Amino acid sequence: MLNTVRQTSGAIGLAASTALAAAVTATWRSATGPAEALVHGYTAAFIASAVCLAAAAIVAAVAMPGLSSLPVRAGRPGRGTRGSPQGSLRDDR
């Protein structure tokens, strides 16, 4: 289910970005040359994508639980096993 939502969201986002770029390009085409009109269209699409990314980052920062909600383990930390990060960082003199 998650993969389907991810694929569909990407396709919808690409279609919306393409439609925006085409609309802005068509608007600027009569006033400027075709190359400059394309630049304006792509610029509008990238700005809209950046705004959506910023909005998604804000929603994720607010909605996701912080580090304070992680469970805390009681007791003394163990030595770890050979090759584990705990075992390799320990000074064994």
Q: What is the pLDDT of residues 13-37, one digit of tens each?
A: 999 999 999 999 999 998 899 999 9
Q: What is the pLDDT of residues 57-82, one digit of tens each?
A: 999 999 988 766 666 666 565 555 55
Number of domains in the chain: 1
Tell me whether residue 37 is in a domain. yes
Tell me whether residue 10 is in a domain. yes
DSSP 27-64: HHHTTS-HHHHHHHHHHHHHHHHHHHHHHHHHHHHHHS
Segments forming the whole domain that contains residue 38: 2-62
Tell me whether residue 76 is in a domain. no
Tell me whether residue 17 is in a domain. yes
Tell me whether residue 54 is in a domain. yes
Report how far residue 54's alpha carbon sits from residue 35's, in angstroms, rounded to the nearest whole number.
29
Q: Helix or strand or coil: residue 77?
A: coil
